[in-house]
Structure 1
């Protein structure tokens, strides 16, 4: 916006200078507007250079909102002295370093697959559990060139995008004996939005890992529009589902002690 304002002001100054005549007053105005015009021109060039250099580092608004909304919803569960480590990747999803590979589909499309692990949040909850939340945006770009009946070549471009949400908990193994054996119960305990599916679930002696697949478009609110998936709500539901399993493991431990 600043670049366009500078450009408009520069154009206005130089148009005004073109309307000046050779009279004494106009000559004075010519001199008075010379340096401001040059300064505005230099500022405009500088603004556009900065804009062209950093425009690809601009994150979507929903990415900023996801971080703030997740922290807001978990604020009561985070210890008052616990640190929160937040990592955001500002580079585009189709950056060369995020390219997983290329292949040709059976229907003749040239495809490129990208993986963008752009979001990561780590903290410690009130009960001592270490929490890590992450999001990976996946992108497949496809193109196909064919020759039409008229002899002209036409290239079509398509792209598919989906997201992977991850929640990982690291707990004290002494409090949750036989946690690794509760994967069947964990799958039954999953309570997720209708458009979100479990992609991977792993339980170990002292950790739990849940990854979900979000194939539809997602948003971060606070007022999610349309049929987009509410990503912060999904994160909370994933966390609550895992805690259902932790609570069940504690009940088993208490029953074992009582017997």
Structure 2
């Protein structure tokens, strides 16, 4: 089914269970939609202050010039007064037109999507699709709503002297089956704390301070066939020796249970998605590379257990 833009605007959530090529086409449509929204925002009408100022100055100038012209019977001053009146009228008309544009603009819903979400989703679909059958479906869900959406609020509480709101946003889930029969699940979670506190300063005025703390968590699970990897249970005891993660991430947990491996890691770094091939000394934090290294770490253990 083709990407439904109108339905997407209602939910800001993308759901799919199609072949990788179809999912990539949908994500490209979302990218184009977001670019269109950004262009729309760039065309937002400016304020009317300058139009009002020009209108006022020209009108006063025309009035004063007309009085002087009447006293001196100067035709050139009369012409100048008429010209100033015309400029004043034009400025007034532009001001009214700008107000009408602003009203129309405010009635059109505008969505500013987080570019990283569709860029990371695109990178992961390409990554997984390279080891999947062409017609093998990918189950994907991407939530483009704000981190602070009410559905993501977990609780309110205190952190020291700060009032805090805790948000947990599981915004991406991707599931599929690789060519060797291994099933994979990839999840991305954004955790956010909105902190604020109000206190009276030395001047006696109340001041409110606010700050935000954000962390990202990636969870990768592989469910494999025991016959294909008969020594997996034995190798799982030393699974950490196979782990290779980006330096800007932190290992949270590794779980080996039966025929399933689950790796969780977190970061507080500000990451991008789909960055170019890193060069020596490059400090870019690439989300696609992050998840790819988690997958490779788990597969390194599986290959050792054949």
| TM-score, shorter chain, exceeding 0.5 | yes
Structure 1 residue 46, shift from structure 2 partner: 4.9
Partner Cα distance (2:248, 2:118) in 1: 22
User: 1:95-244 alignment to 2 at 5 Å?
Assistant: 95-105=149-159, 107-177=160-230, 179-223=232-276, 227-244=283-300
Which shows bigger deviation, 69-78 or 86-95? 69-78
Judged with a 3 Å threshold, the aligned counterparts in structure 2 of structure 1 residues 150 and 3 are, in CA distance, closer, same or farther, namely closer
Structure 1 residue 60, shift from structure 2 partner: 1.1
1:78 and 2:104 correspond: no
Q: Deviation per CA, 1:73-113: give whole Å up to 9, x if none.
A: 333211222111221102110111111112212x3111111
1:69 and 2:136 correspond: no
- Gap runs ≥5 in structure 2: 1-38, 47-95
Count of matched residue positions in the alignment of Structure 1 and Structure 2: 226
Judged with a 3 Å threshold, the aligned counterparts in structure 2 of structure 1 residues 241 and 108 are, in CA distance, closer, same or farther, namely same
Partner Cα distance (2:108, 2:166) in 1: 30
SS at match of 1:227: coil
User: 1:27-106 alignment to 2 at 5 Å?
Assistant: 45-51=103-109, 54-55=110-111, 58-105=112-159
The answer on whether the counterparts of 1:2 and 1:47 sit within 8 Å (CA) in structure 2 is no
Which shows bigger deviation, 166-175 or 133-142? 166-175
Q: Deviation per CA, 1:12-51: give whole Å up to 9, x if none.
A: xxxxxxxxxxxxxxxxxxxxxxxxx99x998864543232
> How large is the RMSD of aligned CA atoms in angstroms?
3.2
Judged with a 3 Å threshold, the aligned counterparts in structure 2 of structure 1 residues 193 and 149 are, in CA distance, closer, same or farther, namely same
Structure 1 residue 138, shift from structure 2 partner: 0.8
* TM-score normalized with structure 2 length: 0.64
Partner Cα distance (2:161, 2:286) in 1: 35
Q: Which has the larger radius of gyration?
A: 2
